[in-house]
Structure 1
């Protein structure tokens, strides 16, 4: 089924299956696809973010289960703090899945990584749909689920165009300047391969 995603400024994308069918304004796409389902989102529709610290966040950090919050908190554990939970394959895979889901909740559609060493991490991330892109070296800055808080230039995925993969995010802000100011925690929706993989409740 074809779906039109539109933002508060009237910008819209028509998505069919895993691909972008068309781009334009909501009136243009509604006229071109009168039977399409329309999802109207608050804020701005953007290409989605690339988190440059993928290796550090997916394999080099432990993302506590909500049931562990009293003991371990809610933020990713790194360095010496990783000694707290015993990381067998089951916990390592579950942590990677939670980390990828938390990236999706920040409008991240791709993570830049060196080759991931643990198969359970690769498998868990692959199941979430998050795209992994190669990187040569560890970037500067501080690994953060919010790329705007990492202290390095923010990288966006390629702009959606007809025939490209349907991969984008929507942030509940009025414009790009406010997005940079308020950060990726303003994400209300993330779409990967045409699927709505995150929606703020």
Structure 2
């Protein structure tokens, strides 16, 4: 089904299947494609973010299950706290899946990884549809679900244009400067391979 995603600034992307069919002003796209379903979002459409700490957040951290929140909290556990859990492969995969969902909620459409050693984690990343960007070594900065909190320059995925993969995010902010100030917690929607994989309730 053809779907037009339009933001508050009048920009829009038409998505068909896993691909961008058209890009341009929302008024022009809706007029040219009258049969398309239209989703209107508050804020701005962007290509989506690349999280630079894929290894650290998906293999080097444990993302507690909501049922563990009373004992473990809700933030990713790293270092000694994570090591004390000694997660087996199944638990490591479940943690990675929760971590990936939390990344999607921050407008992440790709992760930079040096070497994911756990098969369960690799499988979770593959199933999520996130793009994997190679990296030569530790990127520095502080691992965080919000790339704006990492202390590194923020990297966006490639610009969306007709024929490119439908992989983008929408943030409820006025513009890119407001996004940099308020961070990726303002994400209202993330689309990967044409699928709405995160929507703020």
TM-score by length of 2: 0.98
2:172 maps to 1:175: no
Residue number in structure 1 paired with 2:15? 15
Give unpaired runs (5+ residues) of structure 2. Answer: none
Residue number in structure 1 paired with 2:120? 120
2:117 maps to 1:95: no
Deviation at 1:172, TM superposition (A): 0.4
User: How many pairs does the alignment contain?
Assistant: 201
Residue number in structure 2 paired with 1:41? 41
RMSD: 0.7
CA distance in 2, matches of 1:65, 1:108: 20
Residue number in structure 2 paired with 1:146? 146
Give unpaired runs (5+ residues) of structure 1. Answer: none
Residue number in structure 2 paired with 1:157? 157
Q: Secondary structure at the match of 1:28?
A: helix
CA distance in 1, matches of 2:23, 2:13: 5
**Deviation per CA, 1:106-138, whole angstroms, max 9, x where unpaired?**
000000001210101111121122221111111
Deviation at 1:181, TM superposition (A): 0.5
- Which deviates more, 75-84 or 2-11? 75-84
Deviation at 1:84, TM superposition (A): 3.3
Q: Secondary structure at the match of 1:96?
A: helix
- Which deviates more, 82-91 or 32-41? 82-91
CA distance in 1, matches of 2:178, 2:73: 29
CA distance in 1, matches of 2:26, 2:112: 33
CA distance in 2, matches of 1:47, 1:118: 29
**Deviation per CA, 1:76-95, whole angstroms, max 9, x where unpaired?**
00111113323011110000
Residue number in structure 2 paired with 1:109? 109
**Deviation per CA, 1:23-45, whole angstroms, max 9, x where unpaired?**
00111101111100000000000
Where in structure 1 do 4 or more consecutive aligned residues deviate above 4 Å? none
Residue number in structure 2 paired with 1:84? 84
Residue number in structure 2 paired with 1:187? 187
